[in-house]
C-alpha cells in the first residue's frame, strides 16, 4: 500500500520522509489554508522536495466543470504533469474528470462519502477515488466498510481506478484497509507517528539498551 502524507507543512513532510517509507503528499484547500502562505509557494516547495516523479495530489477550488478544468491546467503547469488533480465528486466534477481524462491529465475523485460517487469517478476516468474514512465514521456509518465496498465494486466491474483512502484518525482504520489490499492511504503526520507510538515498543527498546549498558558501560553501542 502506498503511504502518503496528508499535510502541507514542509518541516513535517521533511521529518516524515526522513523517517518512514513515504510515497507522496496530498493536500486540500483547508490544509493549504493552515500554512498561512500563498498556495503555489507552498506546493512548489513540496514538489521540489519530494521530486518530480513522486505522487502529489492537489485540489481544485472551482465548483463548475469549466472552472475546475482551468484550475487543473494551472495546477499541472505549476507542479508538473505527475500531479494528480483532486476533483470533488459532485455532478460538475464528473464532467471535469471526463474532459481532463481526454487531455491526459490525471485526476483523483475526492470528497467521497458513498460508493456510488467512487463508481462514477472511476467511470469518468479518475486515476484514484478518495473515500473519507473517518468523516464517514463521524456520520454514524462505516468508513472502512465504504472503502472496502468501493474496492469490491472496482474489481467486479474491472474498473481501472485505485483507491486513495483518506481522512484517518487512527492506526486501526489504516491497518484494516492495508489488510484489504487498498492501493494507497493518505494519513496525517500525527496518525503516521501513531503507527509506532506505543509504550510497549519504547519500553522494550529501552530495556535492551539498559541490559547492554549493564555489561559494557553507559553510552556504549555495537560500533
Ligand atoms: C484527502 O483527500 C482529504 O482531503 C483529507 O484526508 C480529509 O481529511 P480530514 O477528514 O482529516 O479533514
Q: Residue 115 in contact with residue 153, Cβ under 8 Å?
A: yes
Is-catalytic flag, 86? yes
pLDDT digits (tens, 9 = 90+) for 192-213: 999 998 899 999 999 999 999 9
pLDDT of residue 215: 95
To test the pocket of ligand 1, the residue of 28, 29, 56, 184 to mutate (highest count of ligand atoms within 8 Å of its CB) is 28
pLDDT of residue 117: 98
What is the Å distance from ligand 1's center to 117 Cα?
16
For domain 2-189, give the fold.
Answer: TIM Barrel (3.20.20)
Catalytic residue among 34, 63, 86, 148: 86
Read out DSSP for 3-55? EEEE---HHHHHHHHHHS---EEE--HHHHHHHTS-HHHHHHHHHHHH-TTSE
pLDDT of residue 65: 98
What is the Å distance from ligand 1's center to 27 Cα?
8
Q: Is the ipTM of this complex over 0.90?
A: yes
pLDDT of residue 207: 97
pLDDT digits (tens, 9 = 90+) for 64-117: 999 999 999 999 999 999 999 999 999 999 999 999 999 999 999 999 999 999
pLDDT digits (tens, 9 = 90+) for 116-132: 999 999 999 999 999 99
Ligand 1 atom 8: residue of nearest CA: 167
- Average pLDDT in the 55-59 region? 98
Where are the chain's structural domains?
2-189
What is the Å distance from ligand 1's center to 110 Cα?
9
pLDDT digits (tens, 9 = 90+) for 7-33: 999 999 999 999 999 999 999 999 999
Amino acid at each position: 500500500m502506498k503511504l502518503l502524507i496528508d499535510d502541507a507543512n514542509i518541516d513535517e513532510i521533511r521529518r516524515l520522509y526522513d523517517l518512514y517509507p513515504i510515497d507522496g503528499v496530498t493536500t486540500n484547500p483547508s490544509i493549504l489554508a493552515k500554512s498561512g502562505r500563498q498556495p503555489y509557494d507552498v506546493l512548489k516547495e513540496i514538489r521540489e522536495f519530494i521530486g518530480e516523479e513522486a505522487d502529489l495530489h492537489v485540489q481544485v477550488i472551482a465548483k463548475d466543470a469549466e472552472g475546475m478544468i482551468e484550475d487543473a491546467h494551472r495546477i499541472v503547469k505549476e507542479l508538473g504533469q505527475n500531479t494528480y488533480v483532486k476533483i470533488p465528486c459532485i455532478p460538475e466534477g464528473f464532467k471535469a474528470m471526463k474532459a481532463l481524462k481526454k487531455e491526459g491529465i490525471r485526476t483523483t475523485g475526492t470528497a467521497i462519502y458513498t460508493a456510488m460517487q467512487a463508481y462514477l469517478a472511476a467511470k469518468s476516468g479518475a486515476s484514484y477515488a478518495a473515500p473519507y474514512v473517518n468523516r464517514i465514521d463521524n456520520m454514524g456509518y462505516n468508513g472502512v466498510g465504504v472503502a472496502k465496498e468501493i474496492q469490491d465494486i472496482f474489481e467486479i466491474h474491472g474498473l481501472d481506478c485505485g483507491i486513495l483512502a483518506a481522512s484517518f484518525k487512527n492506526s486501526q482504520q489504516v491497518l484494516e484497509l492495508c489488510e484489504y489490499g487498498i492501493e494507497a492511504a493518505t494519513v496525517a503526520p500525527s496518525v503516521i507517528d501513531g503507527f509506532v507510538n506505543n509504550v510497549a515498543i519504547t519500553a522494550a527498546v529501552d530495556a535492551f539498551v539498559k541490559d547492554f549498558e549493564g555489561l559494557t558501560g553507559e553510552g556504549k553501542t555495537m560500533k
